[in-house]
């Protein structure tokens, strides 16, 4: 088994969209509460940074244990997410890039036997290491889309409901 080229490309480039989206916003806009009880753009970024760390921890556990099992990640229950949310945006963007380089290095160095190792998500079932990458990328894409919708709303170019 080999990691699909499309996955490799997205691992290396999908997150770069985040820098572009943030470069269009001011610091005040990062923290603007668009929808009550929903995360701000800043909090979305903090979540993505923390999620990368948590994801990499899970992948490492799969590599060293047999039948690793994971509960769904709940950011609001994670003290490290709350710490991340207190960091400023440039720090978060830097951490995002650094952690992504670590994830990319790891994934691009895996052999076919390692790519088929599995870990089980209690709600979604068994995933190979390769499929965990897809899960990670889809989750990240969802939050990038939310950031895009929220930034469009802030600039007066999109409906409030788009961030749901």
Give the start-to-end residue ranges of the domains of the chain: 5-163
Structural fold of domain 5-163: 1.20.120
Tens-level pLDDT at each residue, the chain (164 residues):
789 999 999 999 999 999 999 998 888 899 999 888 899 999 999 999 999 999 999 999 999 998 899 999 999 999 999 999 999 999 999 999 999 999 999 999 999 999 999 999 999 999 999 999 999 999 999 999 999 999 988 877 665 544 44
Tell me the pTM.
0.91
Which residue in 17, 104, 122, 18 sits closest to 59, CA to CA?
Answer: 104
147, 18 in Cβ contact below 8 A? yes
- Residue 23: both structure tokens together: 């470069």
Tell which residue, 21, 63, 12, has the closest CA to residue 42.
21
């Amino acid at each position: 088994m080999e990691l699909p080229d499309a996955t490799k490309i997205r691992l290396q480039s999908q997150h770069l969209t985040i820098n572009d989206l943030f470069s269009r916003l001011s610091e005040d806009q990062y923290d603007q509460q668009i929808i009550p009880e929903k995360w701000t753009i800043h909090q979305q970024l903090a979540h993505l940074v923390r999620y990368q760390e948590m994801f990499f921890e899970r992948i490492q556990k799969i590599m060293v244990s047999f039948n690793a099992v994971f509960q769904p990640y709940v950011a609001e229950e994670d003290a490290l997410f709350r710490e991340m949310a207190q960091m400023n945006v440039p720090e978060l963007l830097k951490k995002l890039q650094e952690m992504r380089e670590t994830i990319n290095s790891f994934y691009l160095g895996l052999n076919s036997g390692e790519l088929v190792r599995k870990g089980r998500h209690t709600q979604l079932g068994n995933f190979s290491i390769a499929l965990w990458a897809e899960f990670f990328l889809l989750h990240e894409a969802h939050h990038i889309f939310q950031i895009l919708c929220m930034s469009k709303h802030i600039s007066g170019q999109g409906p409030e409901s788009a961030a749901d």
